[in-house]
């Protein structure tokens, strides 16, 4: 986040706003009372551990607060912080802005009743709820390496929210979901699972051939874009081989829809790729041309000279045949079920 901000500040004037932590009332729009209460109680776990150990353990195991999501002091307030930023961006768009960013958000694995995959609260789901106050149909577009399972689960059967996620297949990666036929009762949950090792041009082609016709049919009035960068070839968590330029082209496609858009961050675990990809995306979404080169001192410190990847780092095309089948199945079986806007 710091690297992204310093890079952005060099290249453009950022209208940076400090947001309030999200209110409990807002959290309860997308999470259960018991879960919010458990996060709150476990945030005090250190101070109260001698008396609460048994109860704390029970709460932690019931609500997924272990493993990737261990309780920590102030967990409740810290998590309300990142959701607050996205809620603020969402209200800004609801109230008329064409676009607003909450790059600290995009924690798409949190469920109504459970923490998962580093995610405590579902900022993306709250963004959708806030946009729904003004717009009758909204779409969530998730280009993170991982399936956006939390947001999908919270909105699964609601015809007024369409969720779209393109990701590495659950056969080879956490969270093990996101298959084509998880469409929900309203036909508004769309998943594009890609095989491990899929390269960038195949990813982009699959995105264009699925997201564009689906959004064209559904006709959302506003969009939440989750732009995790972890599908990048250098990211250590997964097995997709997307380059910055392919990923950025997908971001640009969403932007070309010209709809009111709330933009969040998401996953991304390689410090040489995340800041340049997010910066390039923010510039693109703001209609500012992305320069070729990263300012010298930062480039030197980070070991990345350019925003886009070098052509010489292109891996040989992989995945086109299997992805053709995935796209074909989506167009044949899923697209016709999407409610027409
Ligand atoms: Zn991810």
Q: Ligand 1 mean position to 115 CA, how many Å? A: 15
Q: Taking the chain, what is the end-to-end CA distance rounded to the nearest angstrom?
A: 37
Q: What are phi and psi of 290, to 5 degrees?
A: -85, 125
Q: What's the rounded mean pLDDT across residues 256-266?
A: 98
Residue-level pLDDT at 47: 55
Q: Ligand 1 mean position to 10 CA, how many Å? A: 27
Contact 135, 260 (CB under 8 A): yes
Please say whether the dihedral angle defined by the alpha carbons of residues 133, 134, 139 and 143, taken in this order, is positive or negative. negative
Residue-level pLDDT at 50: 52
Contact 151, 107 (CB under 8 A): no
Q: What are phi and psi of 171, to 5 degrees?
A: -70, -30
| Residues less than 5 Å from ion ligand 1, measured at CB | 144-146, 228, 230, 267
Q: Where do the domains of the chain lie?
A: 2-30+74-337
- 109 as an active site residue: the answer is yes
Q: Ligand 1 mean position to 167 CA, how many Å? A: 9
Both structure tokens of 169: 């297949």
Q: Ligand 1 mean position to 233 CA, how many Å? A: 13
Q: Ligand 1 mean position to 175 CA, how many Å? A: 10
Q: What's the rounded mean pLDDT across residues 72-91?
A: 96
Residue-level pLDDT at 54: 72
**Model confidence over 267-289: pLDDT tens digits?**
999 999 999 999 999 999 999 99
Tell me which of 31, 109, 167, 232 is the catalytic residue.
109
CATH superfamily of 2-30+74-337: Histone deacetylase domain (3.40.800.20)
**Model confidence over 246-258: pLDDT tens digits?**
999 999 999 999 9
Please say whether the dihedral angle defined by the alpha carbons of residues 34, 35, 39 and 40, taken in this order, is positive or negative. negative
Contact 327, 192 (CB under 8 A): yes
């Amino acid at each position: 986040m710091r690297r992204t901000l310093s890079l952005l500040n060099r290249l453009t004037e950022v209208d940076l706003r400090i947001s309030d932590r999200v209110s409990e009332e807002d959290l309860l729009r997308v999470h259960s009372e018991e879960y919010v209460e458990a996060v709150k109680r476990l945030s005090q776990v250190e101070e109260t551990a001698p008396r609460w150990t048994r109860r704390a353990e029970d709460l932690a195991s019931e609500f997924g607060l272990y493993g990737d999501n261990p309780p920590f002091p102030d967990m409740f307030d810290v998590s309300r912080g990142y959701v607050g930023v996205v809620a603020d961006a969402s209200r800004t768009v609801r109230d008329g802005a064409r676009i607003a960013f909450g790059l600290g958000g995009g924690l798409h694995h949190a469920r109504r009743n459970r923490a998962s995959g580093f995610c405590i609260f579902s900022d993306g789901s709250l963004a959708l709820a806030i946009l729904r106050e003004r717009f009758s149909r909204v779409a969530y577009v998730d280009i993170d390496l991982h399936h956006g399972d939390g947001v999908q689960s919270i909105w699964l059967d609601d015809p007024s929210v369409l969720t779209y996620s393109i990701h590495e297949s659950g056969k080879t990666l956490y969270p093990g979901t996101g298959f084509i036929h998880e469409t929900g009762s309203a036909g508004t949950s769309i998943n594009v699972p890609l095989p491990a090792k899929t390269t960038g041009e195949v990813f982009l082609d699959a995105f264009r051939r699925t997201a564009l016709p689906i959004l064209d049919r559904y006709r959302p009035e506003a969009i939440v874009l989750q732009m995790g960068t972890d599908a990048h070839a250098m990211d250590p968590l997964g097995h997709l081989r997307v380059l910055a330029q392919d990923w950025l082209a997908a971001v640009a496609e969403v932007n070309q829809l010209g709809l009111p858009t709330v933009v969040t961050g998401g996953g991304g675990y390689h410090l040489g790729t995340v800041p340049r990809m997010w910066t390039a995306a923010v510039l693109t979404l703001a209609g500012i041309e992305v320069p070729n080169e990263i300012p010298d001192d930062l480039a030197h410190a980070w070991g990345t000279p350019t925003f886009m990847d070098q052509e010489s780092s292109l891996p040989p095309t992989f995945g086109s045949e299997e992805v053709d089948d995935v796209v074909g199945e989506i167009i044949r079986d899923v697209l016709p079920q999407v409610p027409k806007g």
